[in-house]
Amino acid sequence: MSDSLNDILVECCILRGCYPLMHRTLHEFNWFCSCVIWGAGPLIDVEIKQAEANGDEDHVKALKDRRNEENAIHERFGEWYSHGSDELIRLAKAFLIYCREQYGNEVDV
């Protein structure tokens, strides 16, 4: 595997089935990086409480699933993040692992 950030993200884009629309993969990479660094944000708990108050069980379940996924990403890949000149490459390599697991069987590469 190349250490080029572009090469890694292009492979992720292909795995996700949205090549050449790179902006879609960049959006998910941004979300993934936030999860790695912080896990689920505190506002999701507010959203869950609002959905519970509205009696929207499907929305509550979806929000809790998202919170669990974001926290699982943080727990699994959190050690990949640290300041340094190669932090984006490390995060991109973690994202590639995530994409291979999430999308690898969905698209012929």
The whole-model pTM stands at 0.85
| pLDDT tens digits for range 73-86 | 999 999 999 888 88
Q: What is the CA radius of gyration of the chain?
A: 16
Average pLDDT, integer, range 78-106: 91
Instruction: Examine the pLDDT at 2 and tell me if it is beyond 60.
Output: no
Residue 67, CA distances (Å) to 35, 60, 82 in order: 10, 10, 23
Tracing tokens 């884009």 back to the chain, one arrives at 13
- CA of residue 43 relative to chain centroid, distance: 17
Tracing tokens 């692992």 back to the chain, one arrives at 97
Q: What is the pLDDT of residue 108?
A: 45
